[in-house]
Amino acid sequence: MIEIDNLEKSFSNKTLFSCSKVVLKDQSLVAIIGESGCGKTTLLNMLSLIDNQYKGSIKINGVSYQTLKGKKKEETRSNLFSFVFSHPYLIDYLSVKENILFSSLIRKTNIDNEKLNKYIQLAKLESCLDSKVTFLSEGEKQRISIVRALVYDRKFLICDEPTAHLDPNNAKIIVKLLKDISQECNKTVIVALHDYSLLPFFDEILEIKDRKLNEINK
């Protein structure tokens, strides 16, 4: 659970947005919406411990990590969060499976193969694991990046505009996958989003508007 309380984010003494109180439940799919430049990515960075320069409180499972610095901050962040971006950032000459496992092989990290197989099945990638990613569609590539982010089995999945470069059909497939991940894999998935037609898939919706962060009742 993430609790946001009396939050205010400013740049050069100008308030970007503020919020009185919001609670994000565990195992939910959360959308963050708002106009370009309103602070969606900034909020993602604050929630995931990248940016700790703000007033107020953000608690994760009852704990505030705002004062953490240096190595301890990075260790805590890496234990709690995985990330998906608008571009999948894959290595074209490697196979699907090699891309999924690339960072874990570099770090020599043990992988739970049972969970990995579950993620691969949810993303419907079983049939192309040995294929080079350069021959795959943009939607398939984004599904690969999502499975790659899940390899470390962290509690929170942070997604910054994961559907930005996809056609409407593939965008729905990606959001449906994220919904399945939140429900079946006990993850809290937080998504900065620009396509409001996808909002019916989400459990919770946060909107940044007129420099205020509010939860929208569905």
pTM: predicted TM-score of the whole model, two decimal places:
0.95
- Mean pLDDT of the 173-200 span: 96
Spatial CB neighbours of 194, under 8 Å, sequence gap ≥ 6: 33, 36, 161, 163, 164
The alpha carbon of 102 is separated from its chain's Cα centroid by a whole number of angstroms, namely: 19
2-216 maps to which CATH number? 3.40.50.300
Task: Report residue 179's pLDDT band, with 50, 70 and 90 as the boundaries.
Answer: very high
- Mean pLDDT of the 140-153 span: 95
Sign, CA torsion 152/157/162/168:
positive
pLDDT at 217: 80
pLDDT at 218: 66
- φ, ψ dihedrals at 115, nearest 5°: -65, -40
- Mean pLDDT of the 144-159 span: 95
- Mean pLDDT of the 3-13 span: 94
Reported as type and span, the H/E element at residue 77 is: helix 70-80
- What SS3 state is found at 18? strand
**Partners of residue 14 on adjacent β-strands:** 11
Task: Report residue 106's pLDDT band, with 50, 70 and 90 as the boundaries.
Answer: confident
- Mean pLDDT of the 12-36 span: 95
Residue with tokens 């019916």: 200
CA gap 5, 132 in Å, rounded: 46
- Contact between 57 and 7 under an 8 Å Cβ cutoff? The reply is yes
